[in-house]
Amino acid sequence: MSGTHTDVPSMVATPLVLPVVADEYEQCPVTDVLRRVGDKWTVLVVVVLGQRPYRFNELHRGIPGISQRMLTRTLRGLEEDGLASRAVFPTVPPSVEYALTDLGRSLLGPLSAVADWAVEHQEQIARSRARVGQERFTAGGVQEPSRIAAPGQ
Amino acid sequence: MSGTHTDVPSMVATPLVLPVVADEYEQCPVTDVLRRVGDKWTVLVVVVLGQRPYRFNELHRGIPGISQRMLTRTLRGLEEDGLASRAVFPTVPPSVEYALTDLGRSLLGPLSAVADWAVEHQEQIARSRARVGQERFTAGGVQEPSRIAAPGQ
DNA sequence: CGGAATCCCAAGCGATACTG
DNA sequence: CAGTATCGCTTGGGATTCCG
């Protein structure tokens, strides 16, 4: 995070001068994009389209759990952001082909980084979740940290 | 999931307190992690904690828009996944320090890849969204692709 | 075939109030 | 200080139906 996109507070807890997003929140572009990526199907669709162009129902069959509605919405989102293209072939019955744009393909790399991380650490995460879940019952005492923080501000 | 044995439910109905999540979709670990990353605050919190450990209210002040509720939930999520640690200092008033674990820090790199991509292409995306938004009204004709797909079957 | 429209439930999230 | 509890609004998303 090369640090220029969001007014993340610097090292010291400063009085905090935020450029106030006066109106509603639009957040930083990172958050914005991340929410796209975080929805249930976008990543999967991008990855599949990363292989080759797909027709609508072909894509539908290629991604088992998805509904037509969500496939359509996801594709519209990608199209709107310029990540995927939509080509309509005026045949009967109509044929529509979706493909990643250059921009869309440029996302594949960064996406893979996170995806690889997820694959690599999935078991560790799963174990952590299980462990924390158990500790809910055993509910031990308070940790004894190596140093004591002075709360006195 | 767990197997091939046909364990016929016996006379006794299983008490079933916990929804043992025979749920159809647990999806792949990638999707699972991506949804965590895709929620509204997780990434921001991870990035901020990536700088140094923070106390709760310090973190609260450091992330302008977030509510206590969502900060708590986000931190609990990170803790559950083993990405962040929570250290309680038995002082008065109490002091709680949050920090990234090694696992959490290992996510910073991959996350940066996507974040940098977002920063780098935010304007292109914004222009695309604006353009598509306009085309909703001008609503042009059908594209004329270079080849004709045979709809076949 | 490739959608759009509608319905409806569940999850995400924010605001507020209360607590140890 | 560091939370928890409750409420209600807003989105996300699945199922179904209809249409060019």
pLDDT digits (tens, 9 = 90+) for A91-121: 999 999 999 999 999 999 999 999 999 999 9
With a cut of 50, say whether residue B146 has pLDDT above it.
no
Is the pLDDT confidence value at A75 over 50?
yes
**E strand spans, chain A:** 54-55, 84-89, 95-100
Question: Measured between alpha carbons, how far is residue B120 from residues A20, A30, A37, A78, A107 in Å?
Answer: 23, 10, 16, 17, 11
* Nearest chain A residue (CA) to B141: A88
User: Is A34 in contact with B32 (Cβ distance < 8 A)?
Assistant: no
A68 touches strand C (CB under 7 A): yes
Q: What is the pTM of this model?
A: 0.80
Q: Is pLDDT of A50 > 70?
A: yes
Q: Which of A113-117, A143-147, B68-72 has the lowest mean pLDDT?
A: A143-147
Burial-class residue A5 by CB neighbours within 10 Å (0-12, 13-18, 19+). Answer: middle
| Residues A130/B73, Cβ–Cβ less than 8 Å | no
Q: Which residue has the higher pLDDT, B30 or A127?
A: A127
Instruction: Give the separation between CA A62 and CA A39, rounded to whole angstroms.
Output: 18
- What's the token pair of residue A115? 């995806």
Is A122 within 8 Å of B83 (Cβ atoms)? Answer: no
Going by pLDDT thresholds of 50, 70 and 90, the confidence category of residue B138 is low
Rg, C-alpha atoms of chain B: 24
Specify the pLDDT at position B16.
29
Q: Give, to the nearest 10 degrees, the angle between helix B42-49 and helix B68-80.
A: 70
Q: Which residues pair with A55 in a beta bridge?
A: A97
Angstrom distance, A12 CA to D19 C1':
60
Residue A1 has pLDDT above 90, yes or no: no
Q: Name the nucleotide with the smallest C1'–CA separation from B65.
A: C14
